[in-house]
């Protein structure tokens, strides 16, 4: 499960708060709302209820899912940096590249199990005509 799937299962105002607090928006061109603007959006006067919610297991689980997605992005950036340094011949980065390559292959096999393979149908359809 990823952060977006988990947020779909969260009550609307809590979901909006989480997205606002952690700045996870699809439209990045718009500026982040101030606390007052956010409260107006959700129709509340204070943020106290959300602060209490931050102490719950639900909130902590959402944070862990969010961090998991951020780790994947960081991993990508680190990988690119290591590859760049390894291509320049730096022995330390070459060894690091070989190590991280094994980790990536292991994790990729696990990730591949998440997806269901698509079975392609034959392009040839039986028209009922006998061509022999």
Task: For residue range 46-94, list pLDDT tens digits in order.
Answer: 999 999 999 999 999 999 999 988 888 888 899 999 999 999 999 999 9
Count other C-beta atoms under 10 Å from residue 86's C-beta. 19
- Report d(CA 105, CA 72) in Å as an integer: 14
Percent share of the chain, pLDDT over 70:
86
Count other C-beta atoms under 10 Å from residue 101's C-beta. 14
- Report d(CA 57, CA 132) in Å as an integer: 68
Contacts of residue 113, defined as CB under 8 A and 6 or more positions apart, other chains included, come to none
18-27 contact pairs (CB < 8 A, 24+): 18/59, 18/62, 21/50, 22/63, 22/66, 24/66
């Amino acid at each position: 499960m990823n952060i977006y799937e988990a947020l779909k299962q969260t009550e609307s105002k809590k979901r909006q708060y989480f997205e606002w607090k952690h700045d996870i928006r699809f439209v990045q061109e718009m500026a982040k709302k101030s606390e007052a603007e956010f409260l107006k959006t959700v129709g509340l006067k204070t943020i106290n209820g959300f602060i209490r919610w931050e102490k719950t297991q639900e909130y902590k689980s959402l944070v862990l899912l969010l961090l998991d997605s951020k780790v994947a992005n960081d991993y990508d950036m680190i990988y690119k940096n290591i590859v760049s340094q390894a291509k320049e011949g730096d022995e330390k980065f070459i060894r690091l590249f070989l190590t991280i390559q094994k980790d990536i292959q292991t994790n990729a096999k696990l990730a591949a199990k998440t997806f269901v393979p698509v079975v392609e149908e034959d392009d040839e359809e039986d028209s009922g005509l006998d061509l022999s």
